[in-house]
Homo-oligomer: A and B are copies of this chain.
Amino acid sequence: MPTLVMKFGGTSVATLDRIRRAAKRVGREVANGYDVIVIVSAMSGKTNELVGWVEETSPLFDAREYDAVVSSGEQVTAGLMALTLQEMDVPARSWAGWQVPLKTNSAHASARIEEIPTDNINAKFGEGMKVAVVAGFQGISPEGRITTLGRGGSDTTAVAFAAAFGAERCDIYTDVDGVYTTDPRITSKARKLDKIAFEEMLELASLGAKVLQTRSVELAMRYGVRLRVLSSFEDNDDNAGTLVCAEEEIMESNVVAGVAFSRDEAKMTLLSVADRPGIAAAIFGPLADASVNVDMIVQNISEDGRTDMTFSLPVNQIARAEQAMAAAQASGEINFSELVTDSDVAKISVVGIGMRSHAGVASQMFEALRDEGINIKVITTSEIKISVLIDRKYMELAVQALHDTFGLEKSA
């Protein structure tokens, strides 16, 4: 039997009624001939309640006890989903992470998956079980204690199961119906993509398209797991949602797949830094130590042994960054004349694997922004992405202009 993994997030299993609707989708795939592995999150709100109790009890909690408490939410949903399927005469049973066992390392609250043995669940499939309902987000440490996988853990669980069982596909049911060329709240021309390459999805995920956690997409790419993102609140036909897959599977595509943006960016410039070997390390080491997430970095041409160093960072980390730079200046690690902060910038990125074979995307982007009178403050590029920092007030305008320029309202 071909195997399918189906993952339902918290909003998709928030009530008994929604669990029933999810179970019906599972039942349909069983009728289509699949052995199904269902990965469930906790009913929405439950994990937050449990985390709240832990944090109120012990602000600097023992992560092993945190995991014991917080993992219980998924266990409940898994049991209820199995019961719902049984009521529909679909042979099903639930598995807590430790029962599979999904083996992780001992990094409690953010454990990494090490192994998913398939024998227990496959034995049950062999006995006629059609659906294994697995509590997402959790596993067991070498010490025999419950671990949780941290942010995006249920998506990651789903992808890991799909890889371990060689599933035909991993369907992620969520509260949006797919991945869009850009945020539909910015332009009504935003179009749902039928397919997107892993690499593109990775760039979009890390740029703020909240559909899939970066970690699960990375895992899917590494193991070639075809991921489908689709809504659990709509009736889906076979081509519903967005398929995240290897680029070989995408016959034709636009040069640019999507326009991503990030609103809460800041730009910081160290003026007239003494330019010497190791100066970058001397600046960005202290920033990393202060947990500042530096993104784009630009170094100007050096004149008279001094240079300007510009970088972007999240707006809410400005104070930490300024403190770290002042301390480094005071200790003599670095030497600059002035630190200039611009807290009113946004980042706009165009992403597309087609950029590898198409020249001129960058100049097309810069011209479109120029035509709107938008000044570019910082530019960085990668093989499949061009990002710019601009004044935040132009963000929506820039997204719309780029969406038009690259013809994203139409598919290839």
Contact = CB atoms under 8 A, between A and B. Distances in A.
Interface string A132-158: 000000000000111000000000000
Contact of A80 (B69, B73, B75, B94): B69
Contacts of A87: 57-58
A121 to B, nearest CB: 13
Given A64-B93, A72-B75, A86-B62, A80 B98 contact: no
Interface in A75-96: 75-76, 78-80, 82-84, 86-87, 93-94, 96
A99 interface: yes
A84 B58 contact: yes
Contacts of A54: 79-80, 83
A68 B57 contact: no
Contacts of A76: 50, 53, 69, 72
A93 B99 CA distance: 21
Contacts of A99: 144-145
A65 interface: yes
Contacts of A69: 75-76, 79-80, 83
A61 interface: yes
Given A72-B72, A72-B75, A99-B144, A65 B86 contact: yes
A257 interface: no
Given A58-B87, A84-B58, A68 B50 contact: no
A57 B23 CA distance: 12
A66 interface: yes
Interface of A, secondary structure class, is: helix
User: How many chain copies does the complex carry?
Assistant: 2
Nearest to A98: B98
A238 interface: no
Nearest to A64: B93
A331 to B, nearest CB: 36
Given A65-B94, A68-B94, A94-B65, A57 B84 contact: yes
Contacts of A79: 54, 65-66, 68-69
Contacts of A53: 16, 76, 80
A99 B99 CA distance: 11
A19 interface: yes
Interface in A266-284: none
A146 B82 CA distance: 15
Contacts of A66: 79, 83
A58 to B, nearest CB: 4
Given A65-B80, A69-B76, 13 more contacts: A16-B57, A54-B83, A58-B84, A62-B82, A62-B86, A65-B94, A68-B79, A69-B75, A69-B80, A72-B72, A72-B73, A75-B75, A99-B145
Instruction: Please list the 3 inter-chain residue pairs (A to B) with the smallest Cβ-Cβ separation, ordered nearest first.
Output: A69-B79, A68-B79, A72-B72
13 contacts: A54-B80, A58-B83, A62-B82, A62-B83, A62-B86, A65-B79, A65-B80, A65-B93, A65-B94, A68-B79, A72-B72, A72-B73, A99-B144
